[in-house]
Amino acid sequence: MSLQETTELALESLRPGDDGYDDAARVFFATGEPALIVRPRDPDEVAAALDHAVRRGLAVAVRSGGHSPVGHSTNDGGLVIDLGRLDAVEVVDHARRLVRVGGGARWGQVAAALDPHGWGITSGDTAAVGVGGLTLGGGVGWLVRRHGLAIDSLVGARVVTADGRVLVTSADEHPELFWALRGGGGNFGVVVSFDFVARPVTTVHHGTVTYALDDAAGLLRRWRDAMRTAPEELSSTLVLAPRVPGAAATATVLLCYAGDPGATAADADAAIEPLLELGTVTEASIRECRYAEVLEDAQHPPGVRLVGRNTLVPALDEDVIAEVVGLHEIPGPPRAVAVRSLGGAFARVPADATAFAHRDAEAMVVGMVVLSGASTDAEVAEALVPWRAVAARGTGSYVNFQGSATLEDVAAAYPPATYARLAEVKRAYDPGNVFALNHNVRP
Ligand SMILES: Cc1cc2nc3c(=O)[nH]c(=O)nc-3n(C[C@H](O)[C@H](O)[C@H](O)COP(=O)(O)OP(=O)(O)OC[C@H]3O[C@@H](n4cnc5c(N)ncnc54)[C@H](O)[C@@H]3O)c2cc1C
């Protein structure tokens, strides 16, 4: 690693050939070859990096945890702004549970820092995922029905815009920018810190229930009905596991019950019990643990290409169930299908309150195909053909689980009125489209 001292740019940076460059050029879903990777330590350094890129016409990739499903946080020949040095988690106001989190922090760090206070912020399920990318797309996790999306706990952000200004945004300051940041992705600037109001979260009941998959449609139906009457303290996802030739098919419900601080184990048991009666249970493992322990580590499996798509369905009706089961049963490369229940606090936020607009969705269906690492784009496209029938049942998609960013993907993520409003914010804050490596909103 070298400290590049030039008249124009003086900050920690890596160029091809430097020690550590290869690791720094790689993210979860992609390996790039950027001309320059910088690690700013404050907003002024972010502004200097942006100025450097704009002057030289370099494409800009912004990285928090590096888990972009499209590999957007690296690039070829451009500049990467790696926010990993901006990862502080600071309690700003204890009485309000107001927490300031650096734009390059990861959710595992946040959960660990808040645990001693008996607090948590609803985020995702994986410790190494970045606060930046997950929050800007929405952020759906173990507490989604209890506390909504991650953006529903966001009350402010500090943003470095393409022209180098450092703006404080909230419901009162630059409110349209603040609206756009909550679901509009990395389109509008570099967020150097996020202000969240944490929730009281101590222990949760968390685990899995695995079933023999002899009647996938029936299982999905019974799970849907159970979740329709479940308390919103309970969030769960039903996963139809990839079929393995010669092995019995299985499905697993991943669940998390997060009660009020006064909730008892009996409350948790009563909420979870119906999920133990959905079919032939082959294994169940549920334990009470700290919320911070729930976030997992995940590595990209070597030698494979993981291709993920998602759609949000207003109702998990018979047509959707039939398509989900049909997709899972198609012969060919292994496919997992995960159906995540929504509702509760997620659904109480008005659709136009944030740039994530799909608040009426009962569930999110995520399809994942496992292909060989050597697969061509044509093979990926072919493997995705069966997914289209499921996507046609949805009313939109979630950018953070969408492994491509075509115009069609952007249109699915943002309904027309949302897109028009985002484009207006884009024109106001990034008219030159400096932030283009994302589900891009054109100025
Ligand atoms: C293993 C795994 C588990 C996941 N689990 C969940 C989950 O449970 N729930 C969920 O909602 N999502 C989940 N995701 C999806 C995740 O939200 C997205 O991949 C998200 O983009 C990751 O954020 P990141 O900061 O790690 O990624 P990065 O690749 O660093 O960032 C993604 C994009 O966000 C933008 N960006 C990031 N930080 C900033 C910033 N500070 N300022 C401006 N722009 C920024 C950039 O455009 C960047 O390209 C998961 C992904 C993976 C790979």
**CA–CA distance, 402 with 307 (Å, rounded to integer):** 9
Q: Kindly state whether residues 79 and 145 are assigned to the same domain.
A: no
**Cα–Cα distance list, 38 to 80, 109, 430 (Å):** 6, 22, 21
Q: Kindly state whether residues 65 and 169 are assigned to the same domain.
A: no
Tell me whether residue 160 is in a domain: yes
Give the residue, out of 26, 39, 46, 62, with the most ligand 1 atoms within 8 A of its beta carbon, to mutate for a pocket test: 62
Residue ending a domain, choose from 58, 84, 110: 84
Predicted TM-score (pTM) of the model is: 0.97
Residue ending a domain, choose from 63, 84, 105: 84
Per DSSP, helices labelled H in 208-353 are 216-229, 265-272, 291-294, 318-329, 345-348
Provide the CATH number for the domain around residue 111: 3.30.465.10
Q: Maximum Cα–Cα distance for the chain, whole Å? A: 68
Q: Kindly state whether residues 62 and 155 are assigned to the same domain.
A: no
**CA–CA distance, 354 with 184 (Å, rounded to integer):** 9
Residue ending a domain, choose from 41, 60, 84: 84
Cα torsion 84, 90, 92, 95 to 10°: value is 140
Report pLDDT for 301.
87
Tell me whether residue 80 is in a domain: yes
Provide the CATH number for the domain around residue 31: 3.30.43.10
**By the 8 A CB rule, do 370 and 401 touch?**
no
Scanning the structure block, which residue is given the tokens 């979630």? 398
Q: How many domains does the chain have?
A: 2
Q: Kindly state whether residues 119 and 151 are assigned to the same domain.
A: yes
58-96: per-residue pLDDT in tens? 999 999 999 999 999 999 999 999 999 999 999 999 999
Per DSSP, helices labelled H in 138-182 are 144-147, 175-181
> Cβ < 6 Å from ligand 1: which residues?
27-28, 62-69, 72-73, 83, 103, 124-126, 129-130, 132-134, 136-137, 139-141, 185-186, 190-191, 298, 400-401, 437-438
Q: What is the Cα 195 distance to its own chain's centre? A: 18
Report pLDDT for 246.
85
**Which range marks the domain in which residue 172 is found?**
85-200+416-429
Q: Kindly state whether residues 150 and 95 are assigned to the same domain.
A: yes
**By the 8 A CB rule, do 102 and 193 touch?**
yes
Report pLDDT for 7.
42
Report pLDDT for 2.
47
DSSP state of 83: G
- Reported as half-sphere exposure (CB side, CA atoms, 13 A), residue 420 has a value of 3
Ranges of the chain with pLDDT below 70: 1-8
